[in-house]
Structure 1
Amino acid sequence: MASTWAPNQDGPDHPHNAPEPSFARINDYWLDGSDHTEADVEIATRITMCAPHIPYLVRELRHLLGRMVRELHGLGIRQFLDLGSGIPNVQHIHQVVAELSADCRVVYVDSDPDVASRSQATLRDVPFARFISTDIRQPAEVLADPQLREILDLSEPVAVFLLGTLQEIADEDDPRQLVADYFARLSQGSYLALSHFGKGDQQLASGLDMFGRMFQQPPPVRMRDTDELRAILGDLSVVEPGIVRMPLWHPSDDQDMGQNAEHVPVHVALGVKNQ
């Protein structure tokens, strides 16, 4: 996810002294990473009290990312753009592609200054990856960034990742138009990897309500149904198996499937620009 709920106020000169929790560092904690603070752990614990399935979903989303990267690599994609990336550690895109071939290039984008500091440190010795600190709601600015242009060739296909990101984009910010604006600037054969909380997740809705009553204003999370996700994909063609529950998207083994896969409240899809 992006880190828009409670961004760090200290700025990039204080990467390990961020007093406010953020989605990115909370996710890092749930993924057994090392880029989180005591404040993040405290909020993560509170969230787990109210919605105990969230850490599981975060870990499953990271497994999905690996499956999608490998699938896209098999389709010939060698350029990857992760929007709202959070901190790119714990089997993120550049780590997955490093195991596949030496000709891949990766750009991560997130607007949180603390995430930027930590991410740039993480990628310091990764020559084929870059991190840019820009608001993903500004496609022209993101795609014109000199660091992105240094490493990605937009005349060739790019795989764009929006995993767990659009649920933080309000309807008034028009997620469908956001996707369209990105893909208007990308070549034919580019892909969109998308995941989103589905409507009807009563466990999540109840958890957010409980969090608000027990602790503080809950993080802003939008839930959208499959028709809304298909609309967000716009003119992109949906690749098989279509818009499905997260564990059902090309599971590599029974562990990916887990139990009650049809009830997991996250839908995912892979779309491709055919024209």
Structure 2
Amino acid sequence: MMYKQYPATGLQRLLLLALPCFTMQGAAALDIRTCFAHAQTYYETLYCEIRAENSGATLPDFWDFKKNNEVMQALLLKKPARQLYIDVPKPVARTIKARSATRLAAPTAIDSKQRSPGSTGHDSCFKQGQQLQCGEQRYNALGNIANAKLDQSIWQDSFKLQLQPFRGNHQTDAEVLAYLRQGYSEYLQHMVAIGLAGETFSFTKFAFFFDDHHAKGVDFAKRMQKMFYYLKQDKKNIAVNTAVNFPDRIDSRNCARFADLLACAGQRSNYLFRPARN
């Protein structure tokens, strides 16, 4: 598929020079986990990576950065990325979001095969203390965990998120979905292992990242590995909020099982659960 590229206008180049002069005040205040959690595109995750390297002194505040279109974001990132030997691909036409939302919405729902016995027909799951009740099945809510309570082997360099590169046809939905479901399951397991169950991407966001990286010619698996590396380093050195919060009611159609985890996408957060043992 061919993508249309957008050249920067003279006004945009002028704004590029002006932005760092008045937007840097809060740039360093955003922690790395929060940065990645709010990143919606490849350029925004690249911004977070640059900040994680304590580079990009001329970059604007993250929230101001997000307000720019992709042409401007690419221009802002070009110099600090070059200092880290990272190439910044050119923007592409914004057809990805609609395609991802349409094509990838279905697998996020719990279908009749995924629902537990007796739960078919129940479109809502309800909060029961720190558990989620879906039909006859109960799930324990998962949240962030303090480092002292984790398996300490996760801090070894060998513990990485190593997704397989996608070798299929990007235009074949079945191949893409199979790859994404496997990759997302691995991503969730790794986030739980480092105590960040409360700060995961939704499946839809994960899928959008895949499409966005593909459109820009960027290796998705390698980018996810690098992002996980920064999250792990940040988690190792900075304490997390371990409070577990989730809505009183969750539409089960926004939930899906990934191995032993139940992931439910909310409007602003992604919630993880694990089947409770009777």
TM-score of Structure 1 vs Structure 2, range by shorter chain: under 0.3
TM-score (structure 2 length as normaliser): 0.26
Higher relative contact order (CA 8 A, sep 6+): 2
TM-score (structure 1 length as normaliser): 0.26
Which one has the bigger helix percentage?
2
Structure (1 or 2) with the larger CA radius of gyration? 2
